Structure 1
């Protein structure tokens, strides 16, 4: 295919981010968009200059000119839409989570394998140049094996009891919120960097506001309120929490997530303490990694293509001193994904999260919830795919 034509399902924050990143790729065209209503789809199409629009996902999925679908809908729609896309044999990039349960995600993995399409999950933090560099440093054994891994993913967009959007609705978002929404990113990124699965967890989660005040009229994710009229809504999902983890090769770790930490906007960090050195990365300052050393001065490695490995430098598109960040990581994910689409059906070396990765994250989330409920260590099930 000369130009890959893409259909985007959804019109919210994720969809807008996907459209912007897709337009930075060569040989890829955003050709269609769909929404819950034709009017909403038309408005988005006019805003972004997209030639075709649909008032439901079925018409977009069945559009014969669409080669790839990006599923950017709320969580509760992911499984059904992903299943429809795979059923017609189209390549698919889904926002996380892959589904609402591991039973559903298992079915999607099986279907993707049967249809032999390129299928990925949008875990975008893997694709920062310095995250890739940390992965290569750990794989080289230069620093020795990791023994302790710790970090955070902290936000403040749900700090007040009047903060509300669809992610607080269990039917639309799922049983878990902070863990599933942002903790999943931490787990995927660290597992990718270490090339090790988290196999056992002990979780302590907290719902700060068991009752929230929902404004009359919905507000978008990360947007503040300002409404005057509210209704009280019971909340079951967690606002914050910490999880002890064990990795398959023996490393221990802990991470803390929160959506109620004032002043923390997207504070995603990880620190890996290895035998010889410690490595720290902060998503809000993504163009450097701190390297701790005992017998020498500590150092910082900056995002300069001339200083990075070949693969890591391929993710840095500008010279040193020209900052790159969140939108660039998303772009790198898409470059990697569409490299696989262009090569299909011949397999290529890829770094994007597969449906198998997304399925394992579902098993991990379920283990964390079970651990919190039962107040004990829980092993993450192997996540074998149903045949």
Structure 2
């Protein structure tokens, strides 16, 4: 396949970031976009010079030119759209979560297998150079066995009771919010770095604003505006919380999520404590990996291709001192995904989160919600897990 033609479903923050990242890839072209309204799709098509635009999902999926579909719709549409894409036999990259329940995500995994397509989920934090470097150091046992992992994913865009957008509507976003939206990223990233699954959880979640003031009109994710006209809305999903986790090899861990921490914008961190050293990484300062040692000086490994392993260096596209960040991690995800599409069915080892990984995260989210509701340890359900 010399030129891969892509269709984008959605017109919000995710869709825009996908389009911009895809434009940095060779051999890939965005040829179509669809929105919840034809006018929205038309505006985006004109903004990004996309030749075809549609007012419905079905029209885009039926477009014979489109080889791959990116699903950038609100959460409640993910399952339905993903199912239609897979049934049509097109390659799929879905924003997370893969579906609203693990029953739905399991069905999607089986469907993708039967249709013999490449299908992945957009967990982009795997694809930073120093995350890859941390993974390699752990894989090689450079600092010995891991005994403790902890971290955070903190934001502040929902700090006030006047902050509102569709993610606060359980019917559109799902039963969980902070865990599903950002905690899932932390879990995926850390499981990837350790190459170990979380198998048991104990969660304590909190809704800071049980009632919020919803503005009259739609507000995009991460956007806010002063507005006098509003209606009071009951909120059932969590604003923040903490989760203790056990990994399959007995490693212990814990993480804190929040969308109500003033001053924290996109503060994803992890710290991995091993026998002979500690690795710490912060997404807001992504170009350095802190390495702590007891019997020697601590150090910071910088994102410089000449200093990294070959695998990590391949994700760094500029020399040391030329800062790379969130858009570059997304670009790296797409490079990996489209390498798989181009070489399918002879796909070599890939690092992007597969549809099976997305299904496993759905099971993990459900276990965390159940743990919070029942105030006890809950094992992550694997009885219905789809094996590769």
Superposition TM-score, scaled by structure 1 size: 0.99
* 1:216-240: CA deviation from partner (whole Å, max 9, x where unpaired): 1111110112111110000000000
What is the distance in 1 between the residues matched to 2:220 and 2:348?
A: 37
**Structure 1 residue aligned with 2:371:** 371
What is the distance in 2 between the residues matched to 1:36 and 1:240?
A: 30
5 Å matches for 1:119-138? 119-138=119-138
**Structure 1 residue aligned with 2:108:** 108
Q: What SS does the corresponding residue of 1:219 show, helix, strand or coil?
A: coil
Q: What SS does the corresponding residue of 2:290 show, helix, strand or coil?
A: strand
Shift of residue 384, structure 1, vs aligned partner: 2.8
What is the distance in 2 between the residues matched to 1:344 and 1:273?
A: 38
Work out whether residues 292 and 298 of structure 1, in 8 Å CA contact, stay in contact via their aligned partners in 2: yes
**Structure 1 residue aligned with 2:219:** 219
**Structure 1 residue aligned with 2:163:** 163
Q: What SS does the corresponding residue of 2:224 show, helix, strand or coil?
A: coil
Work out whether residues 356 and 386 of structure 2, in 8 Å CA contact, stay in contact via their aligned partners in 1: no
Closer, same or farther: CA 313–344 of 1 in aligned 2, 3 Å:
same
Shift of residue 36, structure 1, vs aligned partner: 1.1
**Structure 1 residue aligned with 2:231:** 231
Q: What SS does the corresponding residue of 1:153 show, helix, strand or coil?
A: strand
Matched residues, number: 387
**Greater than 2 Å deviation, 4+ residue runs:** 383-387
The answer as to 2:94 corresponding to 1:94 is: yes
Work out whether residues 199 and 247 of structure 2, in 8 Å CA contact, stay in contact via their aligned partners in 1: yes
* 1:23-67: CA deviation from partner (whole Å, max 9, x where unpaired): 000000000000011111111100111000001010100100100
Work out whether residues 162 and 225 of structure 1, in 8 Å CA contact, stay in contact via their aligned partners in 2: no
Work out whether residues 360 and 385 of structure 2, in 8 Å CA contact, stay in contact via their aligned partners in 1: no
Shift of residue 383, structure 1, vs aligned partner: 5.4
**Structure 1 residue aligned with 2:341:** 341
**Structure 2 residue aligned with 1:185:** 185
What is the distance in 2 between the residues matched to 1:9 and 1:300?
A: 40
* 1:150-181: CA deviation from partner (whole Å, max 9, x where unpaired): 00000000000000000000000000000000
Closer, same or farther: CA 383–217 of 1 in aligned 2, 3 Å:
farther
What is the distance in 2 between the residues matched to 1:355 and 1:69?
A: 14
Work out whether residues 359 and 383 of structure 1, in 8 Å CA contact, stay in contact via their aligned partners in 2: no
What is the distance in 2 between the residues matched to 1:119 and 1:221?
A: 25
Work out whether residues 82 and 94 of structure 1, in 8 Å CA contact, stay in contact via their aligned partners in 2: yes
**Structure 1 residue aligned with 2:328:** 328
Closer, same or farther: CA 383–134 of 1 in aligned 2, 3 Å:
farther
The answer as to 2:73 corresponding to 1:73 is: yes
**Structure 2 residue aligned with 1:266:** 266
Q: What SS does the corresponding residue of 1:268 show, helix, strand or coil?
A: strand
Superposition TM-score, scaled by structure 2 size: 0.99
Q: What SS does the corresponding residue of 2:362 show, helix, strand or coil?
A: helix
**Structure 2 residue aligned with 1:275:** 275
What is the distance in 2 between the residues matched to 1:110 and 1:144?
A: 38
What is the distance in 1 between the residues matched to 2:385 and 2:242?
A: 29
Work out whether residues 107 and 386 of structure 1, in 8 Å CA contact, stay in contact via their aligned partners in 2: no
**Structure 2 residue aligned with 1:152:** 152
Structure 2: tracts of 5 or more residues without a match: none
* 1:43-98: CA deviation from partner (whole Å, max 9, x where unpaired): 11001110000010101001001000000000000000000000010000000000
Q: What SS does the corresponding residue of 1:7 show, helix, strand or coil?
A: strand
Q: What SS does the corresponding residue of 2:340 show, helix, strand or coil?
A: helix
What is the distance in 2 between the residues matched to 1:283 and 1:317?
A: 17
Work out whether residues 6 and 31 of structure 2, in 8 Å CA contact, stay in contact via their aligned partners in 1: yes
Shift of residue 386, structure 1, vs aligned partner: 6.9
**Structure 2 residue aligned with 1:302:** 302
The answer as to 2:317 corresponding to 1:317 is: yes
Shift of residue 385, structure 1, vs aligned partner: 4.3
Q: What SS does the corresponding residue of 2:24 show, helix, strand or coil?
A: coil
What is the distance in 1 between the residues matched to 2:335 and 2:212?
A: 40
What is the distance in 2 between the residues matched to 1:383 and 1:183?
A: 23
Structure 1: tracts of 5 or more residues without a match: none
What is the distance in 1 between the residues matched to 2:298 and 2:318?
A: 26
Work out whether residues 178 and 240 of structure 1, in 8 Å CA contact, stay in contact via their aligned partners in 2: yes
Q: What SS does the corresponding residue of 1:265 show, helix, strand or coil?
A: coil
